[in-house]
Structure 1
Amino acid sequence: MRKATMMVPVFLMVAACGQSEAEKAESAAAMTEIRNQRVAREFVGGVLKDPASAEFRNQHGLCGEVNSKNSFGGYVGFKRFIAASRELVVFENDGRMNSADFEAAWSMHCR
């Protein structure tokens, strides 16, 4: 999986040769999205009990949903996250941010 993830940016760079400016901009945007998703997964994995069990979905840049195992080995269910930095990963209803503030941040940065 990691090897395939690393090959996508290389493929996009090779595909960028001979493209129009609009196509190059689209390729650059796709590469940025891939990089942001990879960074967010790294940040989120850094705070999970079992990072190897993490399942991601509906990810857009530094935001998305993650499901992972807890201390008892059971999956906890998908929760939305915002991964602003390695030190600032906020999960929905984790007590670090009230619901209204999380919704406002999600609406501003994640849609």
Structure 2
Amino acid sequence: MQKLRVMLPLFLMLAACGQSEADKAKNAAEMKEIRFQRVAKESVTAVLKDPRSAEFRNQRGFCGEVNSKNSFGGYVGFKRFIAPSKELVVFEKDDRMTPSEFEQAWTKFCL
């Protein structure tokens, strides 16, 4: 078991050395996407009435759709969101942006 702990990092390093530049770029892009999605989920759940009930779908970067429970305990249906930070979370049809402004932002940043 001790040998495995020593050898495993060595094998991982050797495997990483064998990656092509294209593979490294692909892996970096995938990690960036994962970080963006995590930030968005954390930002969105921070403003929900019942964060534990949040269901996410169609997430891409800082954008996606979320369904969660309201104050009465019922799900409200999936709503699109743009959430690049905890200070800036915008939902479709909320009063912070007009519908046309939201559509413009969605088209620019989410598609």
Structure 2 length as normaliser, TM-score? 0.85
Name the structure 2 match of 1:77: 77
Q: How many residues align?
A: 98
The 5-angstrom pairing of residues 45-60 of structure 1 reads 45-60=45-60
Distance 1:52 1:103 in 2: 28
Contact map agreement 2:39 2:84 (CA 8 A) in 1: no
Structure 1: runs of 5+ lacking an equivalent: 1-13
Name the structure 2 match of 1:41: 41
Indicate the structure (1 or 2) with the bigger Cα radius of gyration. 2
Q: Displacement, 1:95?
A: 1.2
Matched, 1:92 2:89: no
Distance 1:35 1:87 in 2: 17
Name the structure 1 match of 2:30: 30
Instruction: Compute the RMSD of aligned alpha carbons.
Output: 1.3
Distance 1:83 1:94 in 2: 13
Structure 2: runs of 5+ lacking an equivalent: 1-11
Name the structure 1 match of 2:21: 21
The percentage of counterpart residues that share the same residue type is 70
Distance 1:21 1:96 in 2: 43
Q: Displacement, 1:84?
A: 2.2
Q: Displacement, 1:87?
A: 1.1
